[in-house]
Amino acid sequence: MATNKRTAREEARREIELFRAQLAKTVGGERTTRGTMKDPTGGSNGFPLTAAGRLNQALRALTRAGWVTRGGAWICCASCGHAELERVLARRKTPAVGYLFWHVQTEEAVWKGLELREPLHLQWRGDAAAAVEIIRRSGLIVTHTGDPGRCIEVAATTHKRSRLNTH
């Protein structure tokens, strides 16, 4: 039993480190000598004042809860993402609750620095309601219809200026 718990913890740590590396590449975060992200917003615990920080917190919480998470340049499209993460789940020594990811096509369209200029659509498999609840706890606005064929949507955090407001 202790070996299974240790293995699960080790897998969770590897998943968190992989996500941190992905996030650093995605948002241009600077790594410190201890391997943690420097916070360009001046907050604490990652990036708490930005969408990137909140998403980082949410994905770490999902990983601790047994989810496999991926994002950005690691996955080219939804089809490849589902296929890759199914392979990841099959290779795991401990069962996962599910997986959640976004792909490079989404990433290129939605990020503006550390904020979301468009909604982020997360592909998933598992208990979407549980994933939505965990993501909401990080301070992001999340919607999901409950339809298994629909993405989990994280709302944009920046607002486009009206063309009428020119002052």
Selection from 18, 150, 11, 136 nearest residue 75 by Cα? 18
Average pLDDT for 94-104: 89
- Nearest-angstrom CA–CA distance, 130 and 65: 10
The share of the chain scoring above pLDDT 70, in percent, equals 68
Instruction: Please give the pLDDT value at position 46.
Output: 44
Q: Specify whether the CB–CB gap between 120 and 154 falls below 8 A.
A: yes
Each residue of 144-162: pLDDT tens digit? Answer: 998 988 999 999 876 544 3
What are the sequence ranges of the domains in the chain?
2-154
CA dihedral (48, 49, 53, 58) positive or negative: positive
CB 115 within 8 A of CB 98: no
| The pair of three-digit structure tokens given for residue 61, joined into one six-digit string | 């919480």
More confident residue, 69 or 113: 69
Residue-level length of the chain: 167
Alpha carbons within 13 A on the beta-carbon side of 18: 16
Q: Say what the pTM is.
A: 0.66
Q: Which two tokens stand for residue 100?
A: 């959640």
What is the sign of the dihedral through the CA atoms of 25, 26, 30 and 32? negative
Q: What is the pLDDT of residue 118?
A: 86
Q: What's the confidence (pLDDT) of residue 64?
A: 93
